[in-house]
Structure 1
Amino acid sequence: MRKSLSNSDLKKILETTNERDLFMVGHIYIENTIDRILEKKFNIPSKSIDSTLFTSNLKMDILTESGLIKGKVKKNVELINSIRNRYAHKLEPNEQRIVNYIRELDYLGSAPKLTSANKKFEKYRLCVIKTYSVLDKMKK
């Protein structure tokens, strides 16, 4: 099993200015952590998890029905997945829809004061890091 990333390591990874990279990579770290939870908590072999038949929706169904993921964490994972899908399947995703998805993300704790000096997608970055951190603790 891979070693967990620190919040600062993940923050560095998410510093890219390329939107498609940001949203794809953010999702990959979340989904990879979900995969490790499924391996650890349910003894599902990585070979099965890596199958294209084992979709993100199926993974979320298992974690939701088991009670491991719920509430704001579940919502964040679903929103991060929706943003990723927009960038994975559209040449030019609707920017307003992406902004709306990001607006719905929850900080999973106290909200930092974001200023106009902050980067355009700083809320997304912060929410991915916090969601990753919450999920990573579930692996243990």
Structure 2
Amino acid sequence: MDNQSDMKKQEAHMPLTAEMVRQQLIQRHNQPLSEDDPILMVATMFELFLTEYDAVLQKHQGAIETFMTTSSQYYADKVQQSTDELLSRALQGTISNNMDAMSDCKKAMGDFSSVNRTYAIVSVISCTITICLFLSWFFMRGQ
């Protein structure tokens, strides 16, 4: 079992050849297959395709590595610059917002104090009227 899994791992890493395809077809289907059988052209086409595909992948891998190497520092600097600008704006915005909020709070407290004084005056007048009415009722009751 262990030898079979090792062989399969080795086969998985080996490039596909017409001979490998021929041997697998003979083994799996128990049918003789000559080395010049036309079906092996498919294996050759796949082998050529895979070779070309690997070359294109390596070319693209090299291009991506070059791009990442040359561009990564530039983009890292841009991200750092943007982060610094956003942080600066956020701090300025926070300070400005806090100043505006304090100004609004001061105005609201002034309005509250003014309304509170008005209510105090109305309460004193209402209380005075109530006392006067009570006293007049008290004195009128006795007559």
Q: Same fold (TM over 0.5)?
A: no
Of structures 1 and 2, the larger Rg is shown by 2
Q: Which has the higher helix share?
A: 2
With the length of structure 2 as denominator, give the TM-score of the two structures: 0.23
With the length of structure 1 as denominator, give the TM-score of the two structures: 0.23
